Each structure stands twice: as C-alpha cells, then as structure tokens.
C-alpha cells in the first residue's frame, strides 16, 4: 500500500458497523423469540464466526443485502445441540460470549478455535462461570480450547472485576440469565456496556447502579428491529486524519458514541482538537451521532490508567496523533493488558521510529515527544490491521511517500479502507 502526503482532506463518509455490537446483536437475536432484522451488521470474519456457531444450534440466519441480516430466534431455551463442534474461529469475543450462553444449556457442546488462536488463554472467563456452577472442562488445561461445556444448574454470584478483566463481564451477565438468584458484577472502572444496553432492549432485567451491574434470570427475550452504528474504533482513523492533515474537514456519519467507547474523543479534545458531535440520537438503546473533525493544532496530553478501558483499541492511532502535538505525551496503565495490546505498542513504536518520531516504549505504556516531522519510509504491517490504518494516517502527514508492506490484512477486516480514504 502506497500513501502520499496530503495537503487537505474533505468530505463525508461512513464506516462499517461496530463489531462489539454486531456480535451481541446476532447472539441475543438468536436467543429471542421471533424474527429480528439487524441493519448495519459488521461482515467481518469474527462476526461471521458468531453467525456460524448459532446456525449450528438450529438458528436460521439469513444474510441479506446492504449489511443486513435476519435472525429467526429460538428463544432463551430453544437452542438445539449442534451436530459438530462450535468453532469460534479467530474471535475471542465469540468464544467468551458463547461460553456464557452454553453454560446454561441442557446439552453438551465442544467449543474450538482456529489453530492460530489455540494458545490464547481463556481461563479468566472460565473461572467465574465455574463459580456459578458451569461444567466446563478440557482434556489438558481448562485455560485453553478445546473446551467441553456440559449441562449444569447455575447459581447467581457476586464477582468483583479488576480493570484488566473487563472483557469477562458480559459472559457472566449472560450466564446470569439462566442462573438462580441474582448475578452481580462489580467493576473497578466503568467498561463497555453494550451487553447491558442490548439485553435490556431485548427485554432482559439488567440493572446498573454505578459500577455494580446485576443480571436476573428471565423467561425469555423478545425480537426487535435493530441497527448497528458505525464502529468508532474505525472512525477514529479518519477523525485523526481530519485533525492532523492541514485544511481538512471530515464528517463521519452514524457512528456509535457510547460513553464507554469515546475515550479517544475526550483525549483529543483535551489536546485541543476541533471535534463536533452532530445529530446525536438514541438508536436501539445506543447513542449514535455524526462526528465532524477539522484541522487542529494539538498539545500533548497524559493518558492515565483509568482512561485506558475506553480507548484501548485506539492506542496506535493516538500515538500517531501525539507525534504531531506540541510537548510530550505520556500513555500509562497498559501493563497487564492482553498480549495483543502490548504487542501493538511494540509494533507502533518500531514503525514510528522509522519515520523519525521520538517514541519510547515504557513498562506500562509509551512516551511520545511531539513536534518532530515524519518522513515517508517502508513500513511493516505485522499482519495487524490497526498498524496498517494508523501508519496510513501517519503517511498522510509524512514528507514523501510511505509504503506499507503486506497490507492485505485489510482485505479481510476492512477492504474499503483505502477506497474510503481516497474519497476524501
């Protein structure tokens, strides 16, 4: 992929549906009685794995035109035993949420992953589910797939989550739909709440009191018409481009602005970015808006550990923005996060250094000294879509040309990225 320095970006675009919401939409629709139509669905490989798993449990799911799917739900207790293993593919989200569902089913199921993901641990999810009574076993180590989930009687628990365990909240709440008594999760920091919002949209009884979230067993969920907003994680690359490239004015339409996901907007505003939220509204229980970003002079910022959950996916592109800010930006609190996050920090640090940025990886984050001009060079993608898109934005402000090697990873996750960028 070849990226050239740009003098201006202008236009209106849209981005693919939010992956986190798409997973939950198809899953909860499958567990609801009646037919649910879902618009704006993300057709990425990981979301298609979720569809495949529920098709194997006798749920009819049609993929229609314009990123719309139709799900003929079976009800909370209507799934059927699959004839073969359920394969979560490369999707950790599919696997985690699926374990919450399967823990309450009256049949045995084996869950597997793609070979490339087999060494990714899943024990942090399994542990609280087993505390609830779930019967989850494995031949060698319950920390890894394949996992066998057998019928069990679930009971409600109270479970305290650390800031590093926010990804296991949803499986616990989902299992709570099938458990006797209340199931309560107490968070140390507010994390993504797509599950709570969507489950209640389908008729569940999820109650939120500050950092305490409680799930109750129910008789059923009920079908709804649902629209998935644009993914703010993908929108962030275009928003950053609009801020960094001179003479730019970009509007990204129909983006999800759930407050648990908009940490990047808060950081950019604190740095002096000109960002406007337009046409804000509620769609399918989620906040949605159009986001306008215009060229801005940025000042450095300090990002503390408490901010990380709301912007964890956007660390690479924030690092790119920080190279163009006045002063030194410090990112803290990344120590202990999933291997994927720490690896991406290494990748983005390495490639920004090639472009002449002053970037240093620390034990728990990054230090970026801004104000140094970037120069185009040959960039490695590491087969990581976040690095490809972040370094593409860096290439827009770098002198000369930037060549990103092995950018074909975008063909799977977001093939329209370059075409959308060229529209501006």
Three-class DSSP category at 149: strand
Round to whole Å and give the CA distance between 113 and 118. 6
User: Exactly one of 18, 193, 231, 313 is catalytic; which is it?
Assistant: 313
Q: Which residues contact 130 (CB under 8 A, 6 or more apart)?
A: 136
Round to whole Å and give the CA distance between 260 and 190. 7
From residue 215, give the alpha-carbon distance in Å to each of 30, 163, 199, 323, 364: 19, 20, 10, 44, 34
For 93-125, letters b (16+ CB in 10 Å) and e give bbbbbbbbbbbbbeeebbbbbeeebeebebebb
Q: Residue 107, Cα to own-chain centre: how many angstroms?
A: 30
Round to whole Å and give the CA distance between 335 and 376. 31
Helix (H) or strand (E) holding 265: helix 263-270
313 as an active site residue: the answer is yes
Cβ contacts of 374-377, under 8 Å, gap ≥ 24: 374/323, 374/398, 374/399, 375/399, 375/400, 376/3, 376/4, 376/5, 376/400, 376/401, 376/402, 376/403, 377/402, 377/403
Active site residue ranges: 313
């Amino acid at each position: 992929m070849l990226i050239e320095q740009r003098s201006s970006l202008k236009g209106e675009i849209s981005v693919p549906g939010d992956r986190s919401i798409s997973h939950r939409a198809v899953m909860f629709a499958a567990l609801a009685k009646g037919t649910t139509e879902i618009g704006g669905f993300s057709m990425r490989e990981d979301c298609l794995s979720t569809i495949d798993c529920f098709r194997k449990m006798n749920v009819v799911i049609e993929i229609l035109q314009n990123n719309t799917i139709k799900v003929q739900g079976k009800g909370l207790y209507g799934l059927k035993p699959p004839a073969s293993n359920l394969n979560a593919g490369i999707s950790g989200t599919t696997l985690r949420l699926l374990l919450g569902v399967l823990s309450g089913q009256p049949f045995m199921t084996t869950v597997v992953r793609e070979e490339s993901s087999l060494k990714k641990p899943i024990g942090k999810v399994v542990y609280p589910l087993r505390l609830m009574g779930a019967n989850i076993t494995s031949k060698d180590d319950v920390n890894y797939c394949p996992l066998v989930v057998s019928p069990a009687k679930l009971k409600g628990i109270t479970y305290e989550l650390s800031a590093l365990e926010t990804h296991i909240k949803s499986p616990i709440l989902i299992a709570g739909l099938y458990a006797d008594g209340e199931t309560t999760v107490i968070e140390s920091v507010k994390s993504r709440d797509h599950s709570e919002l969507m489950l209640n949209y389908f008729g569940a009884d999820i109650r939120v009191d500050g950092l305490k979230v409680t799930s109750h067993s129910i008789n059923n969920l009920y079908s709804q018409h649902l629209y998935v907003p644009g993914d703010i994680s993908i929108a962030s690359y275009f928003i950053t481009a609009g801020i960094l490239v001179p003479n730019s004015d970009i509007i990204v339409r129909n983006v999800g602005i759930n407050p648990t996901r908009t940490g990047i907007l808060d950081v950019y505003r604190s740095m002096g970015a000109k960002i406007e939220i337009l046409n804000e509204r509620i769609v399918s229980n989620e906040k949605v808006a159009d986001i306008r970003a215009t060229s801005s002079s940025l000042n450095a910022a300090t990002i503390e550990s408490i901010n990380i959950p709301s912007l964890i996916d956007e660390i690479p592109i924030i690092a790119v923005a920080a190279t163009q800010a006045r002063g030194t930006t410090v990112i803290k609190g990344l120590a202990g996060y999933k291997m994927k996050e720490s690896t991406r920090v290494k990748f983005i640090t390495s490639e920004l250094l090639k472009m002449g940025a002053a970037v240093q990886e620390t034990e728990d984050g990054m230090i970026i000294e801004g104000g140094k001009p970037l120069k185009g060079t040959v960039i490695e993608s590491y087969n990581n879509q976040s690095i490809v898109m972040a370094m593409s934005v860096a290439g827009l402000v770098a002198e000369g040309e930037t060549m990103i090697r092995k950018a074909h990873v975008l063909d799977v996750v977001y093939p329209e990225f370059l075409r959308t960028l060229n529209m501006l």
